[in-house]
Amino acid sequence: MPQSTFSVETDAWLTTVDVTDRIADAVPDDLESGTVTAFVQHTTAGLLVQENEPRLRDDLESFFRELVPDEGHAHDQLDGNADSHLRAALIGPDVTIPVEDGELALGTWQSVLLVECDGPRTRTVVVTTVGE
């Protein structure tokens, strides 16, 4: 199983970064069909498949802010970022995408977004591919 990693620099507390091309670049040239799994190695960031449209990305950020209050959580007594952990728990740390004819088999409007919930930070994404 080929595996690679890449880093993502984020610039805000809650933001999204399109990582689709970085994941596609990790697909080995000789993989015609199979799957690719991308996994973010952090508990305050997540990955999701969604449309990469600026207004929708703003809507996603607003949605997560409204869904999870910034304050009032027990974990905040430790380091003040419980909201980040809760948002990331809703999103999840990974996505799995089919590979067909050597390409990610994403739909027309689908992209992979890293959702930063505790930035700005440097995040590490591990990409694993499995061929048939």
Q: Which of the four pLDDT bands, split at 50, 70 and 90, describes residue 12?
A: very high
Helix (H, G, I), strand (E, B) or coil at 113: strand
Model pTM?
0.95
Q: Which residue has the tokens 């999103």?
A: 91
Q: What is the mean pLDDT of the chain?
A: 96
Helix residue spans in the chain (DSSP H): 20-25, 54-67, 76-79, 82-91
pLDDT at 96 (0 to 100): 98
Fold of 3-131: Jelly Rolls (2.60.120)
Q: pLDDT tens digit string along 56-109? A: 999 999 999 999 988 888 887 889 899 999 999 999 999 999 999 999 999 999
Helix (H, G, I), strand (E, B) or coil at 27: coil
Sorted by where each begins, the domain ranges of the chain are 3-131
Upper half-sphere CA count for residue 85 (Cβ side, 13 Å): 10
C-alpha Rg value of the chain to the nearest Å: 16
Q: Which of the four pLDDT bands, split at 50, 70 and 90, describes residue 53?
A: very high
